[in-house]
A and B are shown apart, each in its own frame.
Chain A
Amino acid sequence: MNKAITIDGKTLPFEDGQTIMDAALTAGVYIPRLCHNPELKPHGSCKLCVVNANGRNVTSCTMPASDGMVVTNNTPELNEDRKALVQMLFVEGNHICPACEASGNCQLQAAGYYLRMESPHFTHFYPPRRVDASHPDIFLDLNRCILCELCVRASRDIDKKNVFGISGRGIDSHLVVNSESGRLGDTNMAVTDKAAHICPTGAILIKRKGYTIPIGKRTFDQKTLSEFHLGQVKQPEPDGE
């Protein structure tokens, strides 16, 4: 007999080794997320995908599904808490949407829309952060970094380059690049790297491409974050794993 979990009352089958997030994605059930991308090893840091499984809050992108697990996901309470997490991400960085090339393609912004965030609510930190334009093809603007480590993982696991890492601790945690000068231009990053195209916000931008697609015709002008993320589901291998 197939193993299954239920999410908000809907029964979803899963295979051994799948997380709650995997099972949900396969079945087309949306769990909000920012740091997870099905192409990369789960990370579990943004906490947007926290769900309640058998009475306990767990991170769905890292928690293995187990047979009979009862999950609640799309509840007003959890969505309120998720909205508060998005608000936290907004105030801890410097997210100035109208002045950002990524506006309309930004998943943080789209998460705000999806969760109906009307204001960042908390006190802004306005942290001093670095902008690095040293690379000929890529901008790095740490004002917009949300520490999801998608670029860290993509560079390490897909590009096999380790261009990015995290240093500092707590609120001083920050993205660092693999050069003694600390400049992206002194690393071996290339514009064709996966890491150059995986940033969910505008922290990593490709130069000279900012406005090739006008505002109003961008990703989240066409679809919601939920539709976008569900479209990202990894196609299963023809003969299974």
Chain B
Amino acid sequence: MNNQARISKVKIATCSLAGCFGCHTSLLDIDERLFDLLGMVEFDRSPFTDIKHCGPCDIGIVEGGVSNAENARVLREFRDNCKVLVAIGPCAITGNVPALRNNIDLWDCFQEVYLYDPGTEGNQIPNDPELPLPFDKVYPIYEVVKVDYFLNGCPPSPDAIWNFLTDLIEGRKPEIDYKLLRYD
């Protein structure tokens, strides 16, 4: 750990866009190393803090792809505020499972979900402005903003996350060990 990091904690923001929070869960799975992490960093906007908007940060960690307008707004906020932006997990890196809808017509998706599904009541397509409006496709985050680093794995293993984060926090270019590089 360098001196600067000891004096002022590294500020980190995290979010999950079109993802499953699995990457966040894996981050929590670093277990007792969480104490070490909290000694080095301070969380800004994150599901862990419930802070709603991202302030200036050193590192932004984004899980999930860009599926709707809300995802894009959050992602832009992260890019604007974070010195270093990390895509974590295959949803952020390739679109992954949410992108399975990319070859289904959006109108067919809406009909299936809101009109035809047996459980639907009222049979109406919702138009509330509170609801995020979907894009015609799901995009990996690097196709929407510039991304500095990628951490693969669905989810990345706790070890991979720990190694990656400690590299970043201590000012090194993260090196991903061959054994920890996984796309699944």
Contacts and interface: CB of A to CB of B under 8 A. Distances in A.
Interface of A: 90, 94-100, 103-104, 109, 112-113, 116, 118-121, 123-124, 126-129, 215, 224
B143 A97 contact: no
Contacts of A112: 183
Contact of A126 (B90, B97, B103, B183): B103
A95 B178 CA distance: 20
Nearest to A108: B183
Interface in B89-121: 90, 93-97, 99-100, 102-103
A98 B150 contact: no
B76 interface: no
Nearest to B183: A97
17 contacts: A96-B97, A96-B100, A97-B184, A98-B96, A98-B154, A98-B184, A99-B96, A118-B150, A119-B142, A119-B150, A120-B93, A124-B94, A124-B99, A126-B99, A126-B102, A129-B103, A215-B184
A109 B184 CA distance: 9
A-B interface, 10 closest residue pairs, ranked by CB to CB distance from nearest: A98-B154, A97-B183, A103-B184, A118-B150, A126-B102, A119-B150, A97-B184, A128-B103, A98-B184, A119-B93
Given A94-B103, A97-B183, A123 B87 contact: no
A97 B140 contact: no
Contacts of A98: 90, 96-97, 154, 183-184
B34 interface: no
A118 B176 contact: yes
Interface in B130-184: 137, 139-140, 142-143, 147, 149-150, 152, 154, 176, 178, 181-184
A119 B88 CA distance: 11
A8 B114 CA distance: 61
B23 to A, nearest CB: 12
Given A98-B154, A119-B93, A120-B94, 17 more contacts: A96-B100, A97-B183, A98-B90, A98-B184, A99-B97, A99-B100, A112-B183, A113-B182, A116-B178, A118-B181, A119-B94, A119-B142, A124-B95, A126-B99, A126-B102, A126-B103, A128-B103
Contacts of A120: 93-94, 140
B142 A103 contact: no
B103 A113 contact: no
Nearest to B94: A120
A96 to B, nearest CB: 6
A97 B183 CA distance: 6
Contacts of A124: 94-95, 99, 139-140, 143
A109 B154 CA distance: 14
Contacts of B95: 96, 124, 126
B144 to A, nearest CB: 11
Contacts of B103: 94, 126-129
Contacts of B149: 118
B135 to A, nearest CB: 12
Contacts of B184: 97-98, 100, 103-104, 109, 215
Contacts of B154: 97-98
Contacts of A99: 96-97, 100
Contacts of A100: 184
A233 to B, nearest CB: 23
Contacts of A103: 183-184
A95 B154 CA distance: 14
B94 A96 contact: yes
Contacts of B152: 118
A128 B108 CA distance: 15
Contacts of A97: 90, 154, 183-184
A118 B140 CA distance: 13
Q: Which among A96, A103, A127 has the greatest number of chain B C-beta atoms within 10 A?
A: A96
